[in-house]
Structure 1
Amino acid sequence: MKAIALQKYGSADDLQLIDLPDPKVGPAEVLIRVKAAAVNPVDWKLAAGGLDALMEVRFPLVPGWDVAGVVEKVGLDAGEFAVGDEVFGYIRKDWVQQGAYAELASANVRMLAKKPRSLDWAQAAGVPLAGQTAYRTLKRVGVRADDTVLIHAAAGGVGSFATQIAVALGARVIGTASERNHDYLRSLGAEPVTYGEGLAERLRTAGGIDAAVDFVGGDAVEVSLEFVRPDRVASVANPEAEARGGHYVWVRPDGAELAELARLADEGKLTVHVDKALPLAEAAEAWRLSQSGRTRGKIVLTV
């Protein structure tokens, strides 16, 4: 199969399109013919060695944890899916080597769900990691109907999912973003507030806040604690949230959560904005776009 791979830790300049053996399919796995793979910042951070202390990494390394495609082969104990099923998933294994930037990818059935009918391949590939991160973070702080939830970086890749999920739950959403993204947030059902210096003062005019989730880092947790009790504050960007009595969230693959996100998508409550779709061979350019921080929505590789 063709795949994008790294021979050692490196950057976008070190990505190569090479031939690799097809992945083996374990008993509880399926083989997926990849249609699209989303690019996430963790992909290039991992490739630079950023997770070396946390996860075992093997080379050649095929990046990518977000996939959408068609089941091509079913393992001996993987009866949840059949050949020809259209699936999507967050396919992070216990070690890092065989990712989604390839023509074929293997994945445990617990990582997958049926692809939402309402989303195309690129949109579906953009959901799993960001969508599950948003979903799990909101669950961690117990967001429910009639809550007011503060979402930091609400227009970002994860934040835009969190905004839509919270709205679908019946919550009122206050979302921080730059002014150029305020109309976008309104279109998602949020009340935008400009981030940066003076944020706390601006939030004091917004009324009571029941929960807060942080997808940007910086002083977001500190600001949130001025308005929300600690156990209803969660961050994916600041581990210090736990020391302050809140939650630090690390998401794991979960097919049941994906199925819930697929349901929301098919009910018209969850949309995916694909900022750029590039062919697999242009993975390096996709990483540079991701690193620029100037895109809104997902960057996706089509295979």
Structure 2
Amino acid sequence: MKAMILNEFGGPEVFEEAEVPKPKIKAGHVLVKIAATSVNTVDTMIRQMGPELPLSPATPAILGMDFAGIVCEVGDSVNGYNVGDEVYGCAGGLADLQGTLAEYIVADVKLVALKPNNLSMLEAAALPLVGITAYEGLMRAGIQRGQNVLVHGGTGGVGHIALQLAKYFGANVFSTGGGEPQLQLIQQLGATAINYRTDSVESYVQQYTDGSGFEVVFDSVGGANMTNSFHAAALNAHVVSTVSLLELDLSPAHFKGLSLHVVFMLIPMLHDHKREEHAAILKSLTSIVEAGALKPILDDTSFSFTDIGKAHERLASGRAVGKVVVSVN
């Protein structure tokens, strides 16, 4: 089969087209002909850092985690899937798991679900990693109807899904963005838009919560912005972080009695730990999508399989709105 591989780690130019062996079906797995994949920040990190990241595969490596495609073979002990089913998931691209920048993948059925019937293959491929991350974070924060929820980075990959899910769960949703297109998208997705470039944390906390703070803060920006999340949170609130690779003074969190939830959704893939929970979340996401309450936003660029280097550049540029997706077939 055709694949885009890395023989070395580095810049976006290191991808090479190659012919590699087609994977063979095994028990508990399905062989999927991949139609589309998407680019996530972790993909760019692996491509750049290689062995510096403990989750990176060895070279020659096939990256890519998300996929949507059609089942071609069904392994032993697999129930609920048949040849011809359209499926989606996040099932490879790290450690010893083959990635999705290839024509086929053998995927653990605990990491896949039937594709929402009202999404295209490209839209479905945009959803798994960010959808699982957003869903898990909101569940761990114990989101409840009527709560004031703040999503930092509401037009990013995880952020725009977390925003929609929080609204689906009945919260009053507010979200930060910068620039008119981003603020307009936040409004279109049903949240109150906050311009982080012009509005201070203190000002929007006062304006929207009478100074008491938000009961749930979902921080998909991370880094130094974590301090803003602590300041925006109410007493005994929940802060969800998806990017917490930093040293940070936790004093503000201590004096507010905050609960901090770090979501690292790759754990089931890396450690074969509770993988079935990912399938369960994907099934829930399918139901929410088919109910018309969730739709992944695709960046207004388009990339083919062999343009994966350009797709990585697009994501790294910071100009993408929504998910960067790639057609495989």
TM bin, normalised by shorter chain, reads over 0.9
Give, in whole Å, the separation in 2 of the partners of 1:241 and 1:67.
35
| Residue in structure 2 matched with residue 25 of structure 1 by the alignment | 25
Aligned-pair distance for 1:230? 5.4
- The Cα shift of 1:51 comes to 6.5
Letter in 2 for 1:26: K
Deviates more, 1:93-102 or 1:54-63: 93-102
| TM-score when normalising by structure 1 | 0.94
In structure 2, C-alpha distance between the alignment counterparts of 1:145 and 1:50, rounded to whole Å: 42
Distance 1:93 1:64, change over 3 A: closer
User: 1:199 corresponds to which residue?
Assistant: 201
Select which of 312, 316, 325 maps to 1:291: 316
Identity among equivalent positions (%) equals 31
Matches within 5 A, 1:1-303: 1-49=1-49, 52-55=52-55, 57-92=57-92, 95-180=95-180, 181-196=182-197, 198-207=200-209, 208=212, 209-226=214-231, 227-229=233-235, 232-239=238-245, 244=253, 245-252=259-266, 254-275=278-299, 276-303=301-328
Structure 1 residue ranges without an equivalent (≥5): none
1:108-144: CA deviation from partner (whole Å, max 9, x where unpaired): 0000000000000000000000111111111111111
Distance 2:36 2:295 in 1: 17
Give the alignment's TM-score, normalised by structure 2.
Answer: 0.87
Q: Which runs of 4+ in 1 moved over 4 A?
A: 239-245
| Partner residue in 1 for 2:273 | none
Further displaced range: 234-243 or 169-178: 234-243
TM-fit CA distance, 1:221: 2.6
The one-character-per-residue Cα deviations of 1:253-275 (angstroms, maximum 9, x if unpaired) are 60110111111111110112221
Change (3 A) 1:184 1:51: farther
Alignment RMSD (CA, Å) = 2.0
Unaligned runs of 5+ in 2: 254-258, 269-277
Supply the distance in 1 between the matched residues of 2:326 and 2:93 (Cα, whole angstroms): 20
**Matched residue type, 1:140:** R
State the distance in 1 between where 2:82 and 2:140 align: 33
Instruction: Give 1:43's aligned amino acid.
Output: D
- Say if 2:302 and 2:326, in contact at 8 Å, map to a contact too: yes
